């Protein structure tokens, strides 16, 4: 027979040396098991004098309950610790930034196109939609470029059969605009154009143009120059250096080309401006009478100007992009730098 005090002390000693669930299981078996200390002492009750038996039985039961409670409580603590360990192992830091922040951003060409469209809309121009797939007639013939005209060689493209092709410029919008709206008119239209090009820092086989046309009575180069002045300053500010050069386009007479002083090198010469310090950004001129007629406009009464802006090159100048290919290689970090 062992005294309750002794059992408590033994338990206390074992409990202090207990560090794991396995240790605790051993203690549980030793004290509460079928052949454990408490059960042993219960069996020995019959040897206890009858007067003390009930008391000892109660005391043993109370001690059994205390030990059971202690073990249950500690068991829960162990389970919690296990769970925490598991959570630590599986912990995922969802606050970490991913390699790319994939929020979208407008493409620099879209930025520039919208900027230009806003300027022209504010000057009373109407925005027309054109088609990527055009007929040879709208892309060439109606623009005073007959079938075997050498100017077609400069704008070779994909021919899709049945006289259809991928438009080489947005100038076809001129004819659609005149036919639809008649004279006088002010229209713009923008979008992708396609050419057989030798690709380099300033040429791509797919790029963007913004076409503009104004037809009214007595329109001269002075008007054209006024609009060029106004919109280039709206985009680049009043210190922009530019020059107009005579150029040949079959659909205008006279024809001109607008060069901007290359803003990528400050006019010193770089790969984008082919070391000339100037970059060609727009063709323009007074609309050829044949073109007015193709648009069902009376060429004796009306005259007009037209221009085709290279939107990509405008974007390159405005945003310091040194190579046009960057605009089309799908690089996400590049696009995001414009967010």
Q: Which is nearer to ligand PHE, 108 or 250 (CB)?
A: 250
Sign (positive or negative) of CA dihedral 178, 181, 183, 189: negative
Nearest approach, Cβ of residue 301 and ligand PHE (Å): 21
Nearest approach, Cβ of residue 240 and ligand PHE (Å): 20
| Structure tokens belonging to residue 167 | 């438009």
| Structure tokens belonging to residue 182 | 């008649």
Q: Which is nearer to ligand PHE, 113 or 169 (CB)?
A: 169
Q: Which is nearer to ligand PHE, 188 or 321 (CB)?
A: 188
Which candidate, 151, 267, 138, 106, places its Cα nearest to that of 211?
A: 138
Cα 109-110-113 angle, rounded to 5 deg = 85
Nearest approach, Cβ of residue 158 and ligand PHE (Å): 16
Binding residues (CB under 6 A) for ligand PHE: these are: 169, 171, 249, 252, 255, 283-285, 306-308
Q: Omega of the bond prior to 184 within 30 degrees of 0, cis?
A: yes
Tell me the C-alpha distance between 243 and 231, whole Å.
Answer: 14
Q: Which is nearer to ligand PHE, 39 or 247 (CB)?
A: 247
CB 165 within 8 A of CB 187: no
Nearest approach, Cβ of residue 156 and ligand PHE (Å): 13
Q: Which is nearer to ligand PHE, 56 or 208 (CB)?
A: 208
Nearest approach, Cβ of residue 309 and ligand PHE (Å): 8
Strand ranges inside the chain, DSSP E: 126-127, 133-135, 159-161, 164-166, 185-194, 206-216, 242-246, 252-261, 278-287, 303-310
């Amino acid at each position: 027979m062992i005294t309750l005090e002794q059992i408590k002390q033994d338990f206390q000693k074992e409990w202090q040396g207990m560090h794991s669930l396995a240790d605790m299981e051993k203690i549980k078996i030793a004290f509460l098991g079928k052949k454990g200390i408490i059960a042993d002492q219960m069996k020995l009750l019959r040897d206890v004098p009858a007067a003390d038996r009930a008391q000892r039985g109660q005391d043993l039961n109370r001690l059994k309950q205390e030990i059971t409670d202690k073990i249950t409580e500690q068991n829960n603590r162990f389970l919690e610790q296990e769970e925490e360990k598991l959570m630590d192992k599986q912990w995922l830091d969802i606050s970490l930034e991913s390699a790319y922040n994939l929020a979208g951003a407008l493409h620099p060409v879209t930025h520039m196109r919208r900027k230009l469209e806003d300027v022209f809309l504010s000057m009373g121009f109407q925005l027309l939609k054109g088609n990527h797939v055009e007929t040879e007639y709208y892309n060439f013939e109606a623009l005073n470029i007959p079938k075997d005209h050498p100017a077609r060689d400069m704008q070779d493209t994909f021919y899709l059969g049945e006289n259809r092709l991928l438009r080489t410029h947005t100038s076809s919008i001129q004819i659609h605009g005149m036919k639809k709206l008649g004279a006088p008119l002010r229209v713009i239209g923008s979008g992708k154009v396609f050419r057989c090009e030798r690709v380099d820092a300033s040429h791509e086989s797919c790029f963007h143009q913004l076409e503009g046309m104004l037809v009214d009575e007595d329109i001269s180069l002075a008007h054209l120059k006024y609009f060029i002045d106004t919109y280039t300053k709206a985009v680049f500010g009043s210190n922009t250096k530019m020059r107009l050069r005579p150029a040949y386009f079959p659909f205008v007479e006279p024809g001109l080309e607008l060069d901007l002083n290359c803003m990528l090198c400050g006019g010193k010469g770089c790969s984008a401006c082919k070391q000339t310090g100037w970059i060609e950004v727009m063709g323009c001129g007074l609309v050829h009478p044949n073109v007015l007629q193709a648009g069902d406009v009376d060429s004796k009464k009306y005259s007009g100007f037209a221009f085709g802006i290279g939107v990509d090159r405008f974007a390159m100048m405005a945003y310091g992009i040194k190579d046009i290919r960057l605009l089309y290689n799908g690089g996400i970090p590049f696009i995001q730098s414009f967010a």
